[in-house]
Chain A
Amino acid sequence: EIVMTQSPATLSVSPGERTTLSCRASQSVSSNLAWYQQKPGQAPRLLIYGASTRATGVPARFSGSGSVTEFTLTISSLQSEDFAVYYCQQFHNWPRTFGQGTKVEIK
């Protein structure tokens, strides 16, 4: 099983700031990496797939990069609605596995 490790566990950020979340895979997943956003009491929402392609309707302030084992999600200018938990997920191998999440909170 591929283990996905996200860092940090919590990020305290001020609105308008740029922030970068990290995700590391225990073995190569090529570019088969997705990012999701989850707000309290809601289901996760797909943000990024293929490591860097934004899903439909996702604002351009969200961008993904990386390949093989190291990935990042960058939010260029945090808006109030972006404070949430973010998960990465690999779809290179079975079983599909998620990171433990990074919580982005208001500083």
Chain B
Amino acid sequence: QVQVVESGGGLVKPGGSLRLSCAASGFTFSDYYMSWIRQAPGKGLEWVSYISGSGSTIYYADSVKGRFTISRDNAKNSLYLQMNSLRVEDTAVYYCARPRAGVFDTWGQGTMVTVSS
């Protein structure tokens, strides 16, 4: 079945870096845009970044632009989010999600990122 599974979360100090991964299965990964969405503890959902199937088109939320980098490896059916210069306010569950026609129809279980000294 269609599935995405995130990994790579953890505890990091402010200013540090972390790389999240998302393994996709059950669909032709290269045919789909992919996205990262986050949710701070007890808060709502915030879209973070978006990448086209070929990787040629990328969008970022203003809150992460210049600090986060989205990428993908279609040969490995994998999506990544390189997070640099992390801030306390980046603390959240990070979800990998598959967009279809603008809506997110497949979500992973999420991976927790905690930025704290």
Given A87-B44, A95-B59, CB of A46 within 8 Å of CB of B103: yes
Residues of B within 8 A of A67 (CB): none
Q: How far is the CA of A100 from the CA of B40 in the complex (A)?
A: 12
Residues of B within 8 A of A95 (CB): 47, 59, 61-62
Residues of A within 8 A of B44 (CB): 87, 98-101
Q: Are A43 and B59 in contact (CB under 8 A)?
A: no
Within 8 A of A (CB), among B53-91: 59, 61-62
Residues of B within 8 A of A100 (CB): 44
Which residues in B have some Cβ–Cβ distance to A below 8 Å? 44-47, 50, 59, 61-62, 95, 101-105, 107-110
Which residues in A have some Cβ–Cβ distance to B below 8 Å? 32, 34, 36, 42-46, 49, 55, 87, 89, 91, 94-101
